Structure 1
Amino acid sequence: MKTILICTDGSSFAESVYKYGAWFAIQLNAKLNVLFVTDIQSQKVSSTGNLSGSIGLGASENLLNELVNLEHEKAKLNNQRARLILQNASEALTSEGIKDFQLTNKTGFLVDCFHEFEENSDLIVLGKGGETADFGFGHLGANVDRIVRSSSKPCLVTPREFKTIERILIAYDGSLSGQKILQFLGDYPCFQNLEIHLLTVAKSNSDQTALARLNEAKQWLQRARFEPVCSLLEGEPEKAIVNYITQQDISLLLMGAYGHSRIRHLVIGSTTTQILQSSNIPVLVFR
């Protein structure tokens, strides 16, 4: 892995994002790129429109001049805010022992700017919520949901609080994304120092197909010199996974992204969305 992209907005999730980004950078020997996007809408002010008929031509011109000056002031404040946020990111990463990182500020919309940087990144790190997180507890930030759904790269979605990673849970379903998770772990021997849990959830704990998938994944990990703790649980995937995380004190979840149809997402959501919403640990999502 060469580059990890950290997306920040300076919110209460930012400190955790930096710490998790630093942890992965150290483990994977990767450099970091921190991206802060100044929302272009925050620099716009209301237009006077054609007000000359109601407030007079002179008054309209004066108001327009005031609005232009206000727009300039807002641009200055946004530039100062961007510098402060990136300075905080620099200090946070430096305190974590990171020396190789880049700070980038763009103006526009994150979901649009993101793909420009995603192409040259191997892992994306972003907070579960954003600036309005306190007003929507338990919900994903709009940018997070859109990025995780659209990104072709693994995305690490972090909670508000940092927790040292000691136990990793693989939610395995035998899919292509599940196989990518196994390959990811196999590519980086550093994870062998951690406790690895392998979990498959099925409608019945006697499901032979699910059991076969679990055994195949277990054997693959053993060949890669892991000794996973394996479990086959019966029930709804999101409930079983969340309960397992709590019971086993899991500190990082690896899972596939959005395995069902787009229509199902719109009607009843998905396991991925529900777990991202309810989880209080970082979730590394693979497509």
Structure 2
Amino acid sequence: MSYILCCVDGKNYSYSACDYAVKISNNMNLPLKFLNIVEHNHYSSKVDLSGSIVLGEREDILEELAKEEEEQSKTAIKAGKELLKELKQRALEKCNNEVIISQLHGEVIENILELENEIEALVIGIKSHAEHEIGENVKEIIRTIHKPVLLVNSEYEEPKKLLVAYNGSNESKKLLQQTSNNPLFKDVKRDIVNLNTNKIESATLLQEAKEIYTKKGYEVEIKTLEGTSEDLLINYFNENSCDILAMGAFGHSRFKEFLFGSFTSKVLSKMRKPLLLFR
């Protein structure tokens, strides 16, 4: 059974992620599954292991660590279950499809990869763990999973305009096909931009992209952004009242970087609205 998967932890815009996931579930007419993953990698804040351990203290310290980890795990499990129940109730108010909740244990990336063949789209709430950084779990998910991933980094707003960054790569073409044939966000305007110093090449690429959307009846605007700076993309997004930025993996084309090369990494750090990423 295919479904929309929404990963939640209670800290990183879980309620906003829920609302976007409901929207996608309704648009794609698929069940919605909320997943909470309990990672058992707690570190003691009470035991100081920086100095030497006196003979005979080792067993006491290990026992204390084990007890603390057990208590932290119990707390995380309970909080996760309560969050899942709350989000299910929230989703059922507007979701037209089945809503499922699940709690798993272990590494985040391993659990999600096991579900990848069942997922049509993945929704994750994110919040910077430090200035201009996002969590390693999120980076690893985007590097690895081959399904659309919506990163939710702000409060929910009804999507009215989607900005598509198109560069002609296979990833960008996949993005166009996905967002036109079985769109995660229906009935929204689409602006398509191409970052390029070659105006002729850019015009060809943009016309190619526009035709895909207009055949499906979408209202489309196209524009060349002269240059390759991520600031051009973000400024256009902000100045043209866009709600979601959709982009493929620029790393395999002119930018010659992997998905988390400097371009994508900078976009992620500077964006203050949701990002829809494709590989």
TM-score by length of 2: 0.86
> Residues 45 and 115 of structure 1: is their aligned pair in 2 closer, same or farther, counting only changes over 3 Å?
farther
The reply on whether 1:236 has 2:211 as its aligned counterpart is no
- The residue type equivalent to 1:229 in the other structure is E
Please point out which of 155, 158, 162 is paired with 1:161.
Answer: 155
Q: Distance in 1 between matches of 2:183 and 2:112?
A: 30
User: Are residue 173 (structure 1) and residue 132 (structure 2) matched?
Assistant: no
User: In the alignment, is the contact (CA less than 8 A) between 2:122 and 2:147 conserved in 1?
Assistant: yes
Aligned to 1:125: 123
Quick one: structure 1 residues 67 and 225, their matched pair in 2 at CA, closer, same or farther if it must change by over 3 Å? closer
Paired residue for 1:35?
35
Local SS of the residue matching 1:240: helix
Trace 1:274-285 onto structure 2 (pairs within 5 A). 274-285=266-277
Instruction: State the Cα distance separating 1:178 from its structure 2 match.
Output: 1.4
Count residues in correspondence: 275
Determine the structure 1 residue equivalent to 2:180: 186
TM-superposed deviation, 1:151: 0.9
Alignment-derived partner of residue 77 in structure 1: 75
Distance 2:173 2:256 in 1: 25
Larger Rg: 1
| The 10-residue stretch of structure 1 (211-220 or 60-69) with the greater mean CA deviation from structure 2 | 60-69
Aligned-partner residue type, residue 173 of structure 2: Q
CA distance in 2, matches of 1:276, 1:60: 44
TM-score by length of 1: 0.84
Contact kept, 8 Å, 1:202 with 1:237, in 2: the verdict is no
| 1:140 to 2:134 alignment | yes
Aligned to 2:15: 15
Q: Distance in 2 between matches of 1:62 and 1:126?
A: 40
Distance in 1, matches of 2:233 and 2:60, equals 61
Q: Flag the structure with higher helix content.
A: 1
Identity %: 26
Q: Which AA in structure 2 matches 1:111? A: I
Please report how far the alpha carbon of residue 202 of structure 1 lies from its aligned counterpart in structure 2 after TM superposition: 0.5
Question: Matched residues in 1 for 2:41 and 2:149: separation?
Answer: 26
CA distance 1:42–1:176, shift in 2 (3 Å) = same
Distance 1:222-1:40 versus aligned 2 partners, 3 A rule: same
Question: Which AA in structure 1 matches 2:188?
Answer: L
The residue number in structure 2 matching 1:252 is 244
Q: SS at 1:75's partner residue? A: helix
Secondary structure class of the residue paired with 1:5? strand
How big is the shift at 1:220?
A: 2.1
Q: For residue 96 of structure 1, report the CA deviation from its aligned partner.
A: 3.4
Partner deviation per Cα, 1:215-260 (whole Å, 9 max, x = no partner): 1111222222223111112022411110110110100111102424
Cα shift readout 1:170-189 (whole Å, capped 9, x = no counterpart) = 11111111111221122137
TM-superposed deviation, 1:199:
0.9
Structure 2 unaligned residues grouped into runs of 5+ = none
> How far, CA to CA, are the matches of 2:203 and 2:69 in structure 1?
62
Moved more, 236-245 or 191-200: 191-200
Counterpart CA distance in 2 for 1:145 and 1:282 is: 15
- Structure 1 window deviating more from structure 2 (139-148 vs 87-96): it is 87-96
The 2-side partners of 1:192 and 1:84 are apart by 32
In structure 2, distance between residues paired with 1:174 and 1:3? 29
Counterparts in 2 of 1:197 and 1:286: CA distance versus 1, 3 Å: same
Could you tell me how far apart the structure 2 residues matched to 1:96 and 1:162 are? 14
Residues 189 and 111 from structure 1, CA distance in 2 versus in 1: closer, same or farther, beyond 3 angstroms? Answer: closer
Runs of 5+ unmatched residues, structure 1? none
Letter in 1 for 2:74: K
RMSD: 3.0
Whole-angstrom CA distance in 2 between matches of 1:201 and 1:157: 22
